[in-house]
């Protein structure tokens, strides 16, 4: 089981930054694109992606796979996803460990799963079918959640790890989502990190969130907070050299601010990796 080579430090590709990226060719190692934004017939989005792809590696990150839904898999969607992947050759294709709707609807949200053995079986079986269809291993991301289910039979980290092992897929560990969910549900974020199988993690997400007093919401509209930076250090110490990217989806700052955040991620990881190398020597 060979993990894909680490890509370094990337950013989410958003239209508001197309001009900055194309005109300055910034020192970003790779870009993550929202798959659905490019599952369109033609026009500017695809033209921009062609240009950026000619200079940078990309990964595709979807929001509508709905891998944990009890609704049938949407093969029209999967065909479009596969066609996009064939055209742009991303290093990997990821989506979320969640569901987005049943009964033919899409609620355009990353909805939470009860962590039951039934859900585990369903997700594992669907991941296998999706991987067979796409002809590649899928990367699944842990989501932020705001509710927990009385039916849950295991911890989230146990569920996530079991999905990865049984379905033989990769994991995208969203550090901010671990932090947000740990606050919302009162679990220990370090226990979460320590329980995730290191050999499955190929990517980290970093992002900001918003505060709602009794809970935090994963809004990607703020800078990364200090607690998440600390957790990222811990993640680097545990998981080693992992492709890292910053998500920003609202209240877009100047591109230079994102580059500065990315530089901080680079330095944080470098220091952590030096520490682990030193300990190993």
Partner 1 sequence: MTLAAIQAAFQAGILNGERAVLDLLRDSQKTDRATLFAVYADGYRARLAEYICNDFPVLREHLGEDAFGCLVEEYVVATQSHHPNARWYGRRLPDFMSESAAWRENREAIDLARFERALSDAFDAPDAAVASISSLQAIPQEAWPRLTFDLHPSVSVLDLAEGTLRLYEALSNDDEPLAPSQGQETVVIWRKDNEIFFRSCLEDERLALFEIRERTEFGDICSLLEFREKRADLTGQLAEYVSQWFTDGLLARVSIGGATSRPPTCRS
Q: Binding segment for partner 1 among 40-48, 191-199, 225-233, 258-266 (CB under 8 A)?
A: 40-48
Residue of 22, 25, 40, 75 that binds partner 1 (CB under 8 A) = 40
CB-nearer residue toward partner 1: 7 or 160: 160
| Beta-bridge partner residues of 108 | none
> To the nearest whole angstrom, how small is the minimum distance from the Cβ of residue 271 to partner 1?
34
Instruction: State how far the Cα of 84 lies from the Cα of 91, in Å rounded to an integer.
Output: 13
Pick from 207, 196, 271, 262: nearest CA to 241: 271
How many Å is the Cα radius of gyration of the chain?
18
Q: Which is nearer to partner 1, 102 or 273 (CB)?
A: 102
Q: Rounded to the nearest 5°, which phi and psi values hold at 15? A: -55, -35
- The nearest distance, CB 118 to partner 1, in angstroms, is 5
CA dihedral 70, 120, 218, 242 (to 10 degrees): -130
> Shortest distance, CB of residue 115 to partner 1, whole angstroms?
11
**Spatial separation of the C-alpha atoms in residues 52 and 46, rounded to whole Å:** 10
Provide the 8-state DSSP code for 77: H
Rounded-to-integer distance, Cα 146 and Cα 153, Å = 17
Q: Which is nearer to partner 1, 156 or 261 (CB)?
A: 156
180 membership: H or E segment, kind and range: helix 175-185
Interaction of residue 49 with partner 1, rule CB under 8 A: no
Is there binding between residue 274 and partner 1 (CB under 8 A)? Answer: no
**What minimum distance in Å lies between the beta carbon of 85 and partner 1?**
15
Minimum CB–partner distance for residue 102 and partner 1 (Å): 5
Span 80-109, contacts to partner 1 by CB under 8 A: 99-109
Residues that bind partner 1 (CB under 8 A): 36-37, 39-47, 64, 69-70, 74, 77, 99-109, 111, 113-114, 116, 118-119, 122, 146-151, 184-186, 212, 214-215, 217
């Amino acid at each position: 089981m060979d993990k894909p080579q680490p890509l370094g430090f990337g950013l989410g590709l958003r239209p508001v930054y197309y001009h900055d990226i194309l005109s300055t060719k910034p020192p970003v190692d790779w870009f993550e694109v929202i798959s659905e934004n490019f599952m369109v017939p033609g026009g500017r989005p695809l033209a921009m992606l062609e240009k950026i792809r000619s200079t940078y590696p990309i990964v595709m990150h979807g929001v509508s796979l709905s891998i944990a839904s009890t609704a049938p898999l949407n093969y029209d969607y999967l065909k479009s996803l596969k066609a996009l992947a064939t055209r742009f050759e991303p290093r990997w294709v990821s989506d979320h460990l969640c569901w987005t709707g049943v009964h033919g609807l899409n609620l355009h949200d990353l909805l939470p799963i009860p962590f039951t053995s039934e859900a585990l079986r369903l997700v594992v079986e669907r991941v296998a079918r999706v991987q067979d269809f796409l002809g590649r291993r899928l990367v699944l991301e842990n989501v932020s959640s705001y509710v927990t289910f009385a039916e849950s039979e295991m911890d989230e980290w146990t569920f996530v790890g079991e999905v990865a092992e049984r379905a033989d897929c990769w994991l995208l560990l969203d550090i901010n989502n671990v932090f947000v969910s740990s606050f919302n549900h009162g679990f220990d974020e370090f226990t979460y990190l320590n329980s995730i199988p290191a050999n499955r993690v190929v990517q980290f997400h970093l992002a900001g969130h918003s505060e709602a007093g009794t809970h935090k919401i994963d809004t990607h509209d703020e800078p990364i907070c200090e607690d998440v930076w600390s957790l990222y250090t811990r993640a680097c110490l545990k998981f080693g050299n992992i492709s890292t990217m910053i998500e920003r989806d609202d209240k877009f700052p100047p591109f230079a601010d994102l580059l500065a955040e990315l530089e901080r991620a680079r330095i944080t990881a470098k220091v952590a990796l030096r520490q682990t190398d030193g300990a190993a020597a």
